[in-house]
Amino acid sequence: MKALLLENVHPLATEILTAAGIEVEVRGGALDETELAAALDGVSLLGIRSKTDVPGSVLRSCPDLVAVGAFCIGTNQIDLATATETGTAVFNAPYSNTRSVVELAIANIIALARRLTDRNAALHRGVWDKSASGSHEIRGRKLGIVGYGNIGSQLSVIAEMLGMQVYYYDTEEKLALGNAKRCSTLDELLDEVEAVTLHVDGRAGNAGIFGAEQFARMRPRSLFLNLSRGFVVDYDALHEALASGHIAGAAVDVFPNEPKNRGDAFSSPLIGLPNTILTPHVGGSTEEAQEDIGRFVAGKLRDYALHGTTTLSVNLPMLAPGDVAHAQRVAHVHHNTPGVLAHLNQILAEHDINIEAQVLATRGSLGYVVTDTNSLVSDEVLADLGSLADTVRLRVID
């Protein structure tokens, strides 16, 4: 079995997969669609971060690929619908870099409130500009969090510990932590707070949710942060709001069009603006977070490849088959229709194959059953199982 790891995934991932007997190829940068399809010839496991897109065309053209691991939070770079259609398991790391993003948000809020960017630039120009003008504590300030998921809710707790008053808005019902106050609409939040930070996910419906209208509605001399997705903000509108002084400062870590590789040229309408912090999508890029992500996602890929375990899969039914004595393990992803399990077991019975253990789970349109047998499964049996009308993917795990 072979694995391909792209985009400088943490070396611990390579160690984990190699120790499991999986051959690992590592490449530093991202690949485009054509390069990726060629590189996946004979590859069973793919590891990516946020720069490599995995479109449906690649998933359909690479039958050996059984699982994709996103070594990051988001999975919007993967065509999940096609992954589900082809029975390709997808895993991510929804929690491992939460703390790193939260710490960067807090650091940015403090730096912007104290105008440390301008003070730093002045000193680098040889100008001693000691002044309290425009410099504020964050204690007592009102922070608005848009998106109250894993990152937004943890940020809420830490910001409150620092003395901030927290307001949040989410399209879903989310339980308030501490003394945070829920806003019914985005406009309600913008009317209240003095700093806005975005922590929304990458779903298509979030595209362009923050533009000229929202910046205009923000209170004068507010702060703005986006550490979520680049395409959710109109950065030309943010440029205007910063240049006019309506927005006092901004911190941006994500951009609509980001360079594929380290060292590539970067452009943005925000370059050169005062009290503006631009970082190259490093919210989750701490050594601690990347090590945790490498361990977590590589472990998921290993367990799926060797045991058929789909716990915390993004798209497949979740199963943990356990360690059962068996001659062979058969993993069968199928359309979730009545009678599939009966047909599968009938085929095994007709070939005198006894079942030692069997677990089944369903999720939406898919079912997933793992069967441990007391004898080896012949090619004839596999052909019969594969010919079932509802079979999506069939895999034998020795």
Q: Which residues does the annotation mark as catalytic?
A: 229, 258, 281
Q: Distances in Å between the alpha carbon of 205 and those of 88, 145, 168, 171? A: 25, 18, 19, 11
Do 252 and 276 contact (CB within 8 A), yes or no? yes
* Long-range residue pairs from 112-119, CB within 8 A, at least 24 positions apart, any chain: 112/195, 112/223, 112/225, 112/248, 112/249, 112/250, 112/251, 112/275, 112/277, 113/137, 113/138, 113/141, 113/195, 113/223, 113/249, 115/249, 115/275, 117/249, 117/274, 117/275, 117/276, 117/277, 118/274, 118/275
Strands 45-48 and 67-70: parallel
Tell me the DSSP string of 66-99.
-EEEESSS--TTB-HHHHHHTT-EEE--SSTTHH
Tally of CB atoms within 10 A around 318:
12
H/E stretch holding 180 reads: none
The SS3 of residue 386 is helix
Q: Which residue is listed with tokens 């901004």?
A: 250
Strand boundaries in the chain, DSSP class E: 2-5, 23-26, 45-48, 67-70, 89-91, 142-146, 165-169, 181-182, 195-198, 222-226, 247-252, 276-278, 328-335, 355-363, 366-373, 391-397
The SS3 of residue 181 is strand
The SS3 of residue 260 is coil
Q: How far apart are CA 44 and CA 61, in angstroms?
A: 13
293, two tokens: 């992500």
